Amino acid sequence: MPEASVRELTDIPLERLGDEMLELMRTLYPICRSLTGNGVRETLRIVGEVIPLSVTEVPTGTPIFDWTVPREWNVSDAWIADANGARVVDFQESNLHVVGYSTPVRARMTGSELEERLHSLPEHPDWIPARTAYWANTWGFCVNESQRRAIRPDETYDVCIDSRLEDGHLTYAESLLAGETNDEVLLSTYVCHPSLCNDNLSGIAVLAFLGRRLLELGNLRYTYRLLFSPGTVGPLTWLSLNLDRLDRVKHGLVLSCLGDPGPVRYKRSRRGAAEVDRAAEHVLRSSRADALIEDFVPWGGDERQFCSPGFDLPVGALTRTPHGLFPEYHTSADDFHLVRAESLADSLAATLEIVAVLERNDAYVNRAPYGEPQLGRRGLYHEISAGAPRAEDSFQRALLWALNLSDGSHSLLDIANRAKIAFHTVADAAEALFDAELLERVDQ
Amino acid sequence: MPEASVRELTDIPLERLGDEMLELMRTLYPICRSLTGNGVRETLRIVGEVIPLSVTEVPTGTPIFDWTVPREWNVSDAWIADANGARVVDFQESNLHVVGYSTPVRARMTGSELEERLHSLPEHPDWIPARTAYWANTWGFCVNESQRRAIRPDETYDVCIDSRLEDGHLTYAESLLAGETNDEVLLSTYVCHPSLCNDNLSGIAVLAFLGRRLLELGNLRYTYRLLFSPGTVGPLTWLSLNLDRLDRVKHGLVLSCLGDPGPVRYKRSRRGAAEVDRAAEHVLRSSRADALIEDFVPWGGDERQFCSPGFDLPVGALTRTPHGLFPEYHTSADDFHLVRAESLADSLAATLEIVAVLERNDAYVNRAPYGEPQLGRRGLYHEISAGAPRAEDSFQRALLWALNLSDGSHSLLDIANRAKIAFHTVADAAEALFDAELLERVDQ
Amino acid sequence: MPEASVRELTDIPLERLGDEMLELMRTLYPICRSLTGNGVRETLRIVGEVIPLSVTEVPTGTPIFDWTVPREWNVSDAWIADANGARVVDFQESNLHVVGYSTPVRARMTGSELEERLHSLPEHPDWIPARTAYWANTWGFCVNESQRRAIRPDETYDVCIDSRLEDGHLTYAESLLAGETNDEVLLSTYVCHPSLCNDNLSGIAVLAFLGRRLLELGNLRYTYRLLFSPGTVGPLTWLSLNLDRLDRVKHGLVLSCLGDPGPVRYKRSRRGAAEVDRAAEHVLRSSRADALIEDFVPWGGDERQFCSPGFDLPVGALTRTPHGLFPEYHTSADDFHLVRAESLADSLAATLEIVAVLERNDAYVNRAPYGEPQLGRRGLYHEISAGAPRAEDSFQRALLWALNLSDGSHSLLDIANRAKIAFHTVADAAEALFDAELLERVDQ
């Protein structure tokens, strides 16, 4: 059993890793990603330099449960130019300017005609919104308010969206880190958003560096599967191609929006009290006073797919401020002003802490269950006794709890929660008792 | 499935119906009712003009579980007259003056001798109490304090109670409104109280007009059984005559004390979490901030009988201010000053809202349970997405909850409670998903 | 059924018994007790004058689960004398001066050499600590701070511990009070502490007088087993010798620290909601506003052994201020200044009240479960009814609750808790209904 390496899991250089994650995000930021296309491929290629990835390409038209893999979308340029040929809106300045999955356009039209194709944010006049029309067969531009006002109703404009929407592939990538068992921990994030930092270059960066850390250590109990895929259809595609292996997924986390300065937030799986839910809650409550624990709701991120009633997988979601709850969400203001190296590092640390609990969460049976065994002769209790209660010493209390509750029906996490002692203190106590041959491990 | 008419159930002219219920109460007020006798018969005849009733007469002496149908009691006159023949207490002025089930009396006695036969309320000197001695073989008069004081110990009085207590019948009435299934909703009120308004002409009026509304609409899922009977022995008699059909009773409500201005109050069935309990709690909590929800206790109204351990039927009790909790209870002050048309109308509306939940509370199974189905192509989601959480739109949330929890084990009411969304929004969402062939109904 | 004597159980002369318990403690105080030895034998002989005891002697070396019966320890004298032969520490003044189970010593050494053998309490300079080294093969002295300072590093001292540590016996005693059934209530306390009052001469005194009270009354349902034994190994030894009879133990209490003026405190068994837990909680919450109810933790007194996972017996612990939570704990200050006759008497009363609930906690079945039976003709309800709710009269409410919940699955304690009525009112109501042939007892 690899306790040693588990303890190292969370022993990481936070400051350096925060900076490295931010650097990865800066590299990925300019790329124009969408549900499909070369932006996703380029993103996965770069992430693959942090952690080895295996890429899957699924052809357009492949049926995916209630869905179908869409046509592949690529865009090389787009603009709105005035009568003088001056570009008043230019994709080269920000890939948010084009509504995602816009059909190709080459047209001349008046400002009035253009009006219904423009999306802006009157309440945030300087920001460009991010919009998509994946399944709609339409096109449009996203602009800030001054760009919108600059387009005069009576003037004529040249409009170009140099996009291709054609049969191709949906692209996703996995990294499979084999452990002692085939039981899997599924860690998933989405790679379909264009130049948006917190949502979700932060999730990509945290997942990539999490994988790198797990790979460095090796020797873990679980097999870890990291999934980088476009939102919604990505997980659905992966699920449809792995139906016969889903019973291997013992725990899972969807990671996203992990770079902003808000507190860490855990959203429970649909099951509500799955082991990952209880591990995450234990870790966050015992280490981060401001952490938020929330019940499952059927909207949000890709946990919606894993937690749909047909799958009902034990997959929770870890974020800082999530989808829709920060004002910069899905706008050009979700940039590097919003994210921080410390937040990224803390998110990575929290995820590793949850993983560490899952790795060590064994159940034991007390081999000397009739009365309290004689701890003194095993060096686990003072020779000269003041009779004092041992309640001040959490390791001593953890020893007694581990002995008392190790009846095969309580995991260490159950014991830690009942005892109100940090998980790793209880796990260390159980290890000492195991070494003293007072506990034996139960196959779970 | 009759959703259309269910929606109409609660679409009623409140003001007009409040007035009509009050008018019915005015017609019924002067009648001298008791556990048995012609007052009950006359009351049921008048109620039968609102809703067709079928009357059952059960002979004196019929065994009813631990009880026996008592002798029938009728009273035509009663008085206490002074030496001059002047009536100082007169049944013709108020039928409350005679203790219910008083044996016939024709006697001359002194004021002192009369003393122990008089009941009054020192704390409310102007009120006449209402008293009964159904099982006691005694007699007495109820008077206000000035009447009591007017009877001088040394003077002689003529006392008459012109009552008959003889073999006859116990009378009750039912209205059976057939629905799609034989599953029944039992709605019960008591008709044994003399000239008392809130307790319980209000219950009689609300139940009669509730029946009329159900009859108007027809086409409901459940069969509705309305029971108008004398308290305690009435329901017991009905139960004893319907033992082999009690398994049809899926839900029930005892209605009483529904005209005072206090908040609506629901008392749970003995089971505590029967469907009717959960429906009533959902309706009242989501529509009436001041509504009270209380646990079952084995005293109160006729729910005591339905919820005795041998039956344990899922029957709750809906009141405004109930038995014993308003000072005018069982006194002459429980008159038309106490009750209001608006309260009666609101009570009727609340009952219909509970019925409407019961009618629509189906369970469904998601036919596309693997991931979230593509709502956009079914017109159930925006074409151009801001990616924004759909949490502000309760219909959108209801769609997602209905899909996520429709696994056969959650009813719409379960879903509404979990989602914290009004039941009918969830039911409308389920209907839209049913129409889109995304849900199918489960036979319950 | 012995209701009459159960009612007498708690009808005791508190003041006289408090004084008698204190007197017993004064007799026992000077005796030098330890895990084994003549001090325990003498203690049990004296307790045997209050209640007949049967003594068991178990030889040194007998295996006891993970333990072994230790060698027997007796000490006749011990001192530290200075160069002039003056005793600066003298066992004759307080038996706390010798570390329990000290090996025999006869030596001359310097004050510096003595230093590591001395135990004192800098934070309480006037107190002598109590220390033991049962399993350590060492020796030492406990002293107050002025004694410690009086020992000069450079001077030479004669040190003597005239102890014998040799094969012998572990001694414990039982009193078995036979009841109607073989089902047992196990009441246990420890007798291994030297001159310490609250911990635990108080527990010995309360248990002895509890036994005397049970014996006086006789005619109880349960068989009561009182166990006076040295802590930890005493209960373990008893358990090991009674393995095949442990299924008789239906309820149990460990009694200790019952003389201080703090509030009564009940610590739940490992099961958490055993009948004794619920009985103790009901009694304490309904009679003592300041009583404390605490969850099981695997440290404290002998409940640790009874509640180890191999036994998991329904044994709670009743104390006032327990082990380690009063500053005088395990010091010479745990003397007669700390304990009070009133506290001892109240502790005895609380224990008897818990026993009385266990004795009467029957379950019944309603023989007239169809509706509410006619209480009036059985003299259990008013003849002339004001219709008023009977909620003010707790006996009336108890009658209705007992009828409603007596379906075989609710004990009287369940009913009392649900009804929020004192247990004995519910039990009296059930008895009245039993006499009226409305309830029959269920064999549990």
Whether B172 contacts B81, CB under 8 Å: no
Residue C392, C-beta contacts closer than 8 angstroms, at least 6 positions apart: none
Q: Which residues have a Cβ under 8 Å from the Cβ of B126 and sit 6 or more positions away?
A: B144, B145, B146, B333
Banded model confidence at residue A389, pLDDT cuts 50, 70, 90? very low
* Average pLDDT of the segment spanning B118-131: 97
- Residue B438, burial from CB neighbour count under 10 angstroms (0-12, 13-18, 19+): buried
Measured between CB atoms, which of B368, B389, B390 is closest to A66? Answer: B368
For A29-39, write each residue's pLDDT tens digit. 999 999 999 99
Is the pLDDT at B387 greater than 80, yes or no? no
The pLDDT of residue C1: 46
Contact A239, B370 (CB under 8 A): yes
Contacts of B430 in chain A (CB under 8 A): none
Kindly tell me if the per-residue pLDDT of A1 is higher than 50.
no
Amino acid occupying residue A259: G
Structure confidence at residue B215 (pLDDT): 95
Query: How close does chain A come to B409, measured CA to CA in Å?
Result: 11
Q: Report the pLDDT averaged over residues A58-86.
A: 97
Contact call for B385 and A133, based on CB within 8 A? yes
User: Nearest chain C Cα to B121, which residue?
Assistant: C386
Comparing CB atoms, the residue among B232, B270, B300 nearest residue C389 is B300
Give the model's pLDDT for residue C376.
Answer: 86
User: Regarding predicted confidence, which is higher, C7 or C15?
Assistant: C15
Q: What is the pLDDT of residue C389?
A: 44
Tell me the C-alpha distance between B13 and B3, whole Å: 20
Contact A135 B366 (CB under 8 A): no
Closest partner CB to A299 (pick from B366, B371, B390): B390
Q: What residues contact C42, with CB distance under 8 A and at least 6 apart?
A: C31
What's the average model confidence in pLDDT over B308-317? 98
More confident residue, C380 or C336: C336
**Mean pLDDT (chain B, rounded):** 95
Residues A403-429 have a mean pLDDT of 96
C367, C384, C440: best mutation site toward chain B, by most B Cβ within 10 Å?
C384
Test the C interface: residue of B120, B198, B297 with most C CBs within 10 Å? B297
* Averaged pLDDT, C413-433: 96
Give residue-wise pLDDT tens across range A316-350. Answer: 999 999 988 999 999 999 999 999 999 999 999 99
Residue of B385, B400, B406, B409 best to disrupt the A interface, most CBs of A under 10 A: B385
Euclidean distance between CA atoms B100 and B35, whole angstroms: 8
B245-299: per-residue pLDDT in tens? 999 999 999 999 999 999 999 999 999 999 999 999 999 999 999 999 999 999 9
Q: What is the rounded distance in angstroms from the CA atom of residue C326 to the CA atom of residue C262?
A: 9
Q: Is the per-residue pLDDT at B393 higher than 90? A: no
pLDDT greater than 80 at residue B413? yes
> Both tokens of residue B55?
């009357």
Query: Above 90 in pLDDT, residue B3?
Result: no
User: Is C403 within 8 Å of B298 when comparing Cβ atoms?
Assistant: yes
A401: nearest CB among C232, C298, C324: C298
Average pLDDT in the A49-62 region? Answer: 98
Tell me which residues of chain B have a C-beta less than 8 Å from any C-beta of chain A: 366, 368-374, 376-377, 383-391, 397, 400-401, 403-407
- Residue B390 with chain A: CB contacts under 8 Å: 299
**Are residues B304 and C369, on separate chains, in Cβ contact within 8 Å?**
no
Res C176 pLDDT > 50: yes
- Taking CA atoms, C200 is separated from A362, B52, B113, C21, C302, in Å, by 40, 79, 70, 12, 12
pLDDT at B60 over 90: yes
pLDDT band per the 50, 70, 90 thresholds, residue C324: confident
* Rounded average pLDDT over C212-231: 95
**What's the sign of the alpha-carbon dihedral B343, B347, B350, B352?**
negative
Q: What mean pLDDT is predicted for residues C229-249?
A: 97
Chain B residue numbers with beta carbons less than 8 Å from the beta carbon of C400 are: 297-299, 304
Binding partners of C (≥3 Cβ pairs within 8 A): A, B
Do A309 and B384 count as a contact with CB atoms less than 8 A apart? Answer: no
Which of the four pLDDT bands, split at 50, 70 and 90, describes residue C9? Answer: confident
How far is the C-alpha of B425 from the C-alpha of B356, rounded, in Å? Answer: 13
pLDDT tens sequence across C14-29: 999 999 999 999 999 9
What's the token pair of residue A294? 């929330």
Nearest Cα of chain A lies from the Cα of B435 at a distance, in angstroms, of: 16
At residue A351 the predicted structure's pLDDT band, cuts being 50, 70 and 90, is: very high
- pLDDT of B43 above 90: yes
* CB B282 within 8 Å of CB B417: yes
3-state secondary structure of A323: coil
Helix-strand-coil percent breakdown of chain A, rounded to 5? 35, 25, 40
pLDDT (tens digit, 9 = 90+) per residue, B347-371? 999 999 999 999 999 999 999 999 9
Check: pTM over 0.95? Answer yes or no: no
Structure tokens at B397: 């949330």
Chains near B, with 3+ CB pairs < 8 A? A, C
Name which of C135, C310, C329 is nearest A370 (Cβ-Cβ).
C310
pLDDT band, residue B389 (cuts 50/70/90): very low
Which residue's entry shows tokens 């790198």? A212
Identify residue A359 by its one-letter amino acid code.
Answer: E
Contact between C160 and C77 (Cβ < 8 Å): yes
The structure tokens listed for C134 are 């049962």
Q: Using 50, 70 and 90 to split pLDDT, how confident is the model at A3?
A: low
Candidates B367, B374, B382: best to mutate against A (most CBs of A within 10 A) is B374
Specify whether the CB–CB gap between C228 and C50 falls below 8 A. Answer: no
Query: Average pLDDT, stretch A12-34?
Result: 97
A305 contacts on B by Cβ (under 8 Å)? 371-372
Q: How far is B68 from chain C (nearest CA, A)?
A: 10
pLDDT for res B219: 84
CB-CB neighbors (< 8 A) of B136 in chain C? 376, 383-384
pLDDT at position C113: 96
Q: Do A138 and B383 touch (CB under 8 A)?
A: yes
* A370/C66 touch (CB, cutoff 8 Å), yes or no: yes
> Residue A359's pLDDT is what?
96
Mean pLDDT score, C68-86: 97
Helix axes C14-28 and C202-217, enclosed angle (nearest 10):
130
Contact A308 B405 (CB under 8 A): no
ipTM: 0.93
Helix (H), strand (E), coil (C) string for chain C: CCHHHHHHHCCCCHHHHHHHHHHHHHHHCCCCCCCCCHHHHHHHHHHCCCCCCEEEEEECCCEECCEECCCEEEEEEEEEECCCCCEEEECCCCHHHECECCCCEEEEEEHHHHHCCEECCCCCCCCCECCECCCCCCCCEECCHHHHHHCCCCCEEEEEEEEEEECCEEEEEEEEECCCCCCEEEEEEECCCCCCHHHHHHHHHHHHHHHHHHHHHCCCCCEEEEEEECCCHHHHHHHHHCHHHHHHEEEEEEECCCCCCCCCEEECCCCCCCHHHHHHHHHHHHHCCCCEEECCCCCCCCHHHHCCCCCCCCEEEEECCCCCCCCCCCECCCCCCCCCHHHHHHHHHHHHHHHHHHHHCCEEEECCCCCCCCCHHHCCCCCCECCCCCCCCHHHHHHHHHHHHCEEEEEHHHHHHHHCCCHHHHHHHHHHHHHCCCEEEECC
Quick check: C300 and A389 CB within 8 A?
yes
Between CA C115 and CA C105 the distance in angstroms is: 15
Q: Give the Cα separation of B433 and B427 in Å (integer).
A: 10
Cα–Cα dist B96/B409, whole Å: 53
Q: Which residue of A has its CA nearest to C306?
A: A371
Q: List chain B residues with CB under 8 Å of A330.
A: 386-388
Among partner residues B377, B386, B407, which is closest to A135 by beta-carbon distance? B377
The answer to whether the CB atoms of A232 and B388 lie below 8 A apart is no
